[in-house]
Amino acid sequence: MIIVSDTSPINNLAAINQLTLLQQLYGTVIIPEAVYRELTEPDFPVAGATEVQTFDWIQTRQVINRTVVEALGNELDIGEAEAIALALEIEAEQVLVDERRGRMVANRLKLKYIGILGILVEAKSQGLILAVKPLLNALINQAGFWVAEPLYNRVLRLVDENNEV
């Protein structure tokens, strides 16, 4: 399965020590150079920086078609633009993207996408994690990931955890 990721899923999963879920779910994860740069910027260290430099299952690729990146750059930040352009270029089965605009553009371009919440739901359905709620709470409290309350509740209902503490 060919998967391309934007910065947010890698950064946020690394922040809660769950980055290996991506390897367990997808095997190899491909990131464009802009995502690599966003994660490894020396003046602004973030979770995931070491992992993208050392994990062999996270591979960095150059986007060849810069015209697509420039066109998408009018709507998206450079990491999202390159992730979507690379997903189109290498015919990825899915692009990992959390931001609403990135999802809208991916959808418009007929790309399948999933965000970090979908990744957690999938990880539970495959038995890779026991519960979504503790990880969802960690994303919010440790990683600073914003989730609207109705979405939070919908995700927990989806995985049948809405009555748990």
Measured in Å, how far apart are the chain's first and last C-alpha atoms? 35
Confidence bin at 165 (pLDDT 50/70/90): very low
| Amino acid 163: pLDDT | 60
Residue range 8-28: mean pLDDT, rounded: 95
Q: Which residues of 69-96 are buried (b: 16+ CB within 10 A; e: fewer)?
A: beebeeebbbbbbbbbbbbbbeebebbb
Domains within the chain, CATH numbers bracketed:
3-116 (3.40.50.1010)
Q: What would the mean pLDDT of 21-30 be, rounded to a whole number?
A: 96
pLDDT-wise least confident of 24-28, 41-45, 65-69? 41-45
Average pLDDT of every residue of the chain: 93
pLDDT band at 162 (very low <50, low <70, confident <90, very high): confident
Looking at residue 79, what is its pLDDT?
Answer: 94
- Checking if the pLDDT of 128 tops 60, the result is yes
Which pLDDT does position 120 carry in this prediction? Answer: 96
Place of tokens 């709470």: 137
CA distance 7 to 96: 9
Mean pLDDT of 23-48: 92
Which helix (H) or strand (E) segment is 47 a member of? none
- pLDDT higher than 90, residue 6: yes
pLDDT of 45:
80
Q: In whole angstroms, what is the distance from residue 154 CA to residue 162 CA? A: 8
pTM to 2 decimal places = 0.92
